[in-house]
Amino acid sequence: MVTDIKDTVRAVEAAAVRELLPALPRMLALGEPTHGEDTLLELRNDLFRQLVEQEGYRTISIESDCVTGLLVDEYVTSGTGTLDEVMERGFSHGWGTSAANRALVRWMRAHNEGRPASGQVRFAGFDGPLETAAAASPRQSLTALHGYLAARVDPALLPCTAETLDHLLGSDDRWTEPAAMWDPARSVGRSAQARELRLLADDMVALSDAQTPHLIAADSRDERDRARLYGRTATGLLRYHYWMADPSPSRLTRLVGLRDLMMAENLLALAERGPVLVHAHNSHLQREKSTVRMGGMPLEWWSAGAIVNARLGDEYAFLATALGTIRHQGVDTPGTDTVEGFLYALPEDRCLVDAARLAGALGDTRPAPRVSPWFGYAPLDPAHLADSDGLVFVKDALTVGDRTDEARRGVVR
């Protein structure tokens, strides 16, 4: 079987991606099967740097808060703030503590130094200000959108005053109540104030759209794009909070789907600006339905990648990533009867594989899915192998200590 596909195994580099795909797409997404492994993020950094420098991609977007990500973009494009500040305040999910993410931001700033805006690479988070288990208050996005409109259109057209918004929002603690994840009755999402805010947010977005000719003449594209981002975020958060208060059995399925819908809307907006590189968990980028067990319940939903693919077609490409071992998490050498085990037998420590050719080599009888002893790692689903445009395989996810030990022993990877 190795003989069947050895000529399709490539190095993980921009030139190999270009050879693999019929044409470089407007949006190229690289997934990962687990979070928090700098081995994977360093690979991402290397590949994305090459794609920016060699293929003209101009935006890098990761699975992080779309609003706080504006701080990172300001830093990498204009030097606003400091690296420490943007790593602390510009990332969600704890991503700001990652050495690889810090290296990415540092490289983007160095790349942009002295370049005109047209030649700079931009940063964007594309997740909402939320996790599945909790969502932020809509205050920041609502008040920012209101402020943008108040400064640019006839005040008589605004659906409310800033004071009314503040009164309806109340304390932010009401919105971020941790118990609301498992007790819908603790959510503020279906209160009279929240319902009124949903209507006001919709009216402000509609006003912004209705004023498009004026806003194009009066403002920069960056300012308009930022206002649209605030509008998407405000309406998305209010919708999410509404369904957090839903007592029905479909509540969690609805929530995971709404989160990926917010992701998809942000990605589609970025694609309007030009070629985009995207990095997130495989489950957010794959074309097939995503699945997870939460609270003992199996959930199934369409990912952001599936939604974007439905809209962009051939202009969307997805490279899944698979792993051999994460030994510090108890994920040891994969069995030879799994796709990961087959790839682990290849001599390369990391490689890019033609997923369709690999699926053909495996034949109609696909190996059984690998079973992970650790909940934080999602193995490949062999049934959907051909649904990705390529497969990046990394033999071992190494800790800093592992790499230090290898360096002492003279191991070269």
**Residue 374 DSSP symbol:** S
CB atoms within 10 A of CB 226: 18
Q: What is the pLDDT of residue 402?
A: 61
CB atoms within 10 A of CB 75: 23
C-alpha span between 20 and 356 (Å, rounded): 10
Tokens standing for 246? 């839903």
Q: What is the pLDDT of residue 2?
A: 46
Q: What is the pLDDT of residue 5?
A: 67
CA proximity to 332, closest of 371, 362, 366, 367: 371
**Mean pLDDT in runs of 10 for the chain (413 residues)?**
68 97 97 97 98 97 98 98 98 96 98 96 97 90 98 97 98 95 95 98 98 96 97 98 96 96 98 97 97 89 98 98 97 95 93 92 85 94 94 90 49 45
Q: pLDDT of 194-239, one tens digit each?
A: 999 999 999 999 999 999 999 999 999 999 999 999 999 999 999 9
CA distances (Å), origin 359, targets 75, 129, 339, 382, 389:
43, 37, 10, 8, 11
C-alpha span between 360 and 85 (Å, rounded): 49
**Residues 6+ positions from 146 with CB-CB distance below 8 Å:** 158, 160, 162, 165, 204
Q: pLDDT of 50-105, one tens digit each?
A: 999 999 999 999 999 999 999 999 999 999 999 999 999 999 999 999 999 999 99
Note the pTM of the prediction, 2 decimals.
Answer: 0.95
3-state class of 372 per DSSP? coil
Whether the CA torsion 176, 182, 183, 188 is positive or negative: it is: positive
C-alpha span between 382 and 388 (Å, rounded): 11
Strands 59-65 and 276-281: what pairing? parallel
Q: Are 393 and 343 in contact (CB under 8 A)?
A: yes
C-alpha span between 96 and 49 (Å, rounded): 19
**Residue 335 DSSP symbol:** P
Tokens standing for 215? 């806003």
| H helical segments located in 245-333 | 251-273, 282-285, 304-312
